[in-house]
Structure 1
C-alpha cells in the first residue's frame, strides 16, 4: 500500500489540531448571522463597514486625550503615551494565544453559514478576536485617562465586538474572551506604565518635546 501524500498528512494534522468552536456557541452564531441574512442591505453594509474600519475611531480618541493631557500632570500624560503601546502589547499577546488554541473560523466549520466578511484562510485563527482585544484594550486605557471619552470608547468597543459576530468572522465566545483579554491587560499595564514612566515624562517636558507634552 502506498503511503498518503505528505500534503494530505499535513492537512489531516492541521484539522486534528484545530479547535472546534462550533461546539460552544455555534447555534447562537448562526442565529446572529441569520439576522444579517434577512436584514436590510443598508444595515448590513453599515455594520460591515464599521467592523472593518471602525477601529480607527480609537486612534482619533487617543489623539483627543493626548491634546487634553498637555494641560494635565505628567502622570496623566504618561498614561496617554502608554495607551497605544499597551494596545500593541495586547494585540501581540492575543495573537500568541490564537496560535496556541488554533480555533478555525466559523465560516470554515459551519457549512452554508451567512458571512458578510470574506472567509479567512487556513491559519488565520479565530479565538480570541483581535479586533475586540484592540478595541477593549484601547477603551479601558482611555477610560483610565478621560472618563467621558473612555465611556464613549467602551460603547464603540462593544459595537466592534458585536459586529465581528454579525459579519460572520467570529463566534460569540471569541468576542467575549477577546474583551476580557483587552480589559485585563489594559487595566494592569496602563496604571503600571503611569507609575514607572512619570519621571521620564517629567524630564521630557523640560526638553525639546515640551510642545508635544505640555501646553506652552
Structure 2
C-alpha cells in the first residue's frame, strides 16, 4: 500500500472524525435504509415526470444494474483487494445500529469500534460499488436534468467519502470507482438513446 494511501486513510478515518459524522457517514453508506424513500421518489418521478423522466428512470435502472451486478462484481472478484478494516489494525469501523425494518437503523445509535483483523474477509475493496452506483446514477440524471444531476454528484461524492470514513475502502479505491460510474452512466444513456431513437420517431 502506498504511503499516501495509508496517510489519507488515517486522516479521514481517524483524525478528521466527529460524533455527528459518526452517524452521518454510516447513514449515507446505508443505501438499504433509504430504500423506502428511493422507491417513493422513483414512483413519483415516473408518474409526474412524463416520458423524459421515464426514459431517465430506465437508463438509471440499467446503469445501476450494470455498474453493480456486472462491472463492480467482476472487478472485485478479479482484483481481490482486501478492505482496510480486514487488512490492518487501528482502522475505525463505523456502522448504524441494527434494526428492522432497515430504515429504522437511521434512528439507532451508531456503532464505532476499532477493528481487530482475524483473517475474515468481508467483501472486496476495489472498486467501491457504492461509488460506482452513485456516480452512474448522478451521470444519468445529469444527462436529463442538469441541476438535479449536480446535486446528485454532490451526494455521490459524500457517499464516496463515507466509505473511507467508515473503514470500508482505501482512498485510492475512490477515484477509479468514480470514473467507472461516470463512464457507465454515459455509456448507458448514449446506447439507449440510440436504440430508442428509431422507436420514438
Give, in whole Å, the separation in 1 of the partners of 2:13 and 2:141.
Answer: 31
Match runs of 1:43-58 below 5 Å? 43-53=21-31, 56=35
Q: Is the 8 A contact 1:58 1:153 kept in 2?
A: no
Residues 83 and 142, structure 1, Cα contact 8 Å, conserved in 2: yes
**Structure with bigger gyration radius:** 1
Distance 1:169 1:135, change over 3 A: same
Counterparts of 2:147 and 2:45 in 1: how far apart (Å)? 10
Larger deviation: 106-115 or 47-56? 47-56
CA drift of 1:109 comes to 1.6
CA distance in 2, matches of 1:122, 1:158: 26
Within 1, Cα distance between the matches of 2:14 and 2:164? Answer: 11
Deviation at 1:43, TM superposition (A): 2.8
Deviation readout 1:71-110 (Å, 9 max, x if unpaired): 54xxx74343222111110112111011111000101222
For each residue in 1:4-55, what CA deviation from the matched residue of structure 2 results, as whole angstroms up to 9, or x when unmatched?
A: xxxxxxxxxxxxxxxxx4666122101111135x522x33112211221377
Say if 2:67 and 2:133, in contact at 8 Å, map to a contact too: yes
Aligned to 1:39: 18
Note the residue ranges of structure 1 that are not aligned, 5 or more in a row. 1-20, 204-216
C-alpha separation in 2, matches of 1:55 and 1:141: 20
Unpaired segments ≥5 residues, structure 2: 96-112
1:189-200 paired onto structure 2 within 5 Å: 189-200=188-199
- TM-score of the two chains, using structure 1 as the length reference: 0.71
Determine if contact 1:33/1:114 at 8 Å carries over to the other structure.
yes
Structure 2 residue aligned with 1:25: 5
2:13/2:164 contact within 8 Å kept: yes
The total of aligned residue pairs comes to 177
Task: Say whether the 8 Å CA contact 2:29–2:162 is kept in structure 1.
Answer: yes
When the two chains are superposed, the root-mean-square deviation of aligned CA atoms in Å is 2.8
Render the CA deviation track for 1:162-190: whole Å, top value 9, x for unaligned: 11111111111112111110001111221
Q: For 1:95 and 1:47, how far apart are their aligned partners in 2? A: 23
